[in-house]
Amino acid sequence: MKRSLILVYGVLSYVIFFATFLYAVGFVGNYLVPVSIDGPPQVPLTQALLINLGLLTLFAVQHSLMARPFFKRWLTRYVPRAAERSTFVLASSLALIVLFIFWQPMGGVVWHVENQVARCTLHTISILGYGIVFVSTFLINHFDLFGLRQVWLNWRKREETPLEFGTPWLYRLVRHPLYLGFMIAFWAAPTMTIAHLVFALGCTGYILGAIQLEERDLADAHPEYRDYRRRVPMLIPRLGRRHKGGLEQTA
């Protein structure tokens, strides 16, 4: 019974994550969602800025703290080990949902592309960024990353073995294609409002900081990661060169 409950918990956490991810695409790009990143300002600019920075900080602290090994060790004192990753996924989704609910439009336009061909191109690039994110998760094991592998193995009474260090496709070009995809998606905006700029800057700052913490953990877990880090660029591919890489375990 306990194993079945853990399996259901993991699947529900994944479903909530997937719905949240899809809403995030619409939220950032102002696509087909009831509340998005832009809209008529509801509060003064300074107040909106403080609220939005607080929401971004909440997500950053939750995401980085719960991804650290010491927090995982503490959490598994109270949560079954098989459900630890699903708990992280669920908490991250809830932090994003809070951001969606309380985000404040800020008005103002930083840039606006008028040409329709250019606008369509930027929208396409943004969607391509999300595509890179999605593909990257499967390259490093999508089901492990979002907790489904762990709860499934637990349900089957099979031991969970760590993933091996590998060299999947995009990870031979850059060490963090998943993060690169997010940055492309957030910055390829045909209309960049102040609120969108705050979001993009906040997420970019978080990504650059999170990479430092992640890579320290990866180097501790996989000694070969240090050599991989020397040979393969972090986010910007070196065109015309091929690399033997390793895989990233994202937070």
% helix / strand / coil in the chain, to the nearest 5?
Answer: 65, 5, 30
Q: 173: which residues sit within 8 A by CB, 6+ positions away?
A: 232, 233, 237, 243, 245
Region class of 32: left (phi > 0), else alpha (psi between -120 and 50), else beta: left
Q: Which residues does residue 112 pair with via DSSP β-bridges, in sequence order?
A: 191
Full-model pTM = 0.90
- Which of 5-12's residues contact partners 24+ apart within 8 Å by CB, and which partners? 6/80, 6/82, 6/83, 6/151, 6/154, 6/155, 7/151, 7/152, 7/154, 7/155, 9/83, 9/86, 9/151, 10/82, 10/83, 10/86, 10/147, 10/148, 10/150, 10/151, 10/152, 11/148, 11/151
CA–CA gap between residue 224 and residue 244 (Å, rounded): 11
Is the separation of the CB atoms in 189 and 120 below 8 Å? no
Do the strands 109-112 and 191-193 form a parallel or antiparallel pair, or are they unpaired?
A: antiparallel
Q: What is the full per-residue pLDDT of the chain (251 aa) written as tens digits?
A: 799 999 999 999 999 999 999 999 999 999 989 999 999 999 999 999 999 999 999 999 999 999 999 999 999 999 999 999 999 999 999 999 999 999 999 989 999 999 999 999 999 999 999 999 999 999 989 999 999 999 999 999 998 888 887 778 899 999 999 999 999 999 999 999 999 999 999 999 999 999 999 999 888 888 899 999 999 999 999 876 554 444 444 44
H or E element in which residue 190 lies = none
